[in-house]
Amino acid sequence: MRTSVFVGTSLDGFIARPDGTFDFLTGGSDADGASNGFDAFFATVDVVLMGRNTYEVVLPFPAWPYGRTPVFVLSNRPLPPPPRDAVVEQIAGNPDEVLARLSDRGFEHVYVDGGATIQQFLRAGLIHRLVITRVPVLVGSGIALFGSVDSDIRLKHVATRELRGGAVQSEYEVERPTDTKTE
């Protein structure tokens, strides 16, 4: 099973303001999913895994952004009802258990979304790919993309490109620890 993150941040590393809004993310990039690569990325995933806070932020959007792609929401509490025609299920457990259950259901490529969820899966060593779009704005405070980690998480740079409006998008593969036996 492959896991990927596709996310936008302010230049100072915030994915949302303290109240969860992320209006600043469209300020320096194309809102059009085709031009920022989101549509092409989303076409490669077969399931979305997000935290409850992210679910509650996207729930009132005029159009459900995930179409009929199954969305699993990490939560131990009952979820607010999903939009009509949305495929939404609640799921709980540690990252290994959650991915095992998704794999058992036949899913192969998971789009992991939401600050706390991304952090949790990164700390567990379960994220394979990061696509991060940095928008040219400083917001000063908010919800950080990355939190504390127990040890370094090494990344391999794959590509960087400039988007219209001055945003910069970088893609990384998360390096897997190798067996470093000495002879």
Under 8 Å CB-to-CB from 72, ≥6 apart: which residues? 47, 48, 49, 50, 88, 89, 90, 91, 98, 102
Question: With contact defined as beta carbons under 8 Å apart, do 5 and 131 qualify?
Answer: yes
Indicate yes or no: pTM above 0.75: yes
Domain span at residue 42 reads 2-174
Looking at residue 29, what is its pLDDT?
A: 46
The answer to whether residue 60 sits within a structural domain is: yes
- Beta strand 155-162 with 168-174: parallel, antiparallel or unpaired? antiparallel
Residue ranges in the chain whose pLDDT is less than 70: 27-34, 178-183
Looking at residue 32, what is its pLDDT?
A: 52
Looking at residue 182, what is its pLDDT?
A: 44
Q: What gap in Å lies between CA 74 and CA 117, rounded to an integer? A: 8
The answer to whether residue 120 sits within a structural domain is: yes
CATH number, domain at 57? 3.40.430.10
Structural domains counted in the chain: 1
Question: With contact defined as beta carbons under 8 Å apart, do 4 and 109 qualify?
Answer: yes
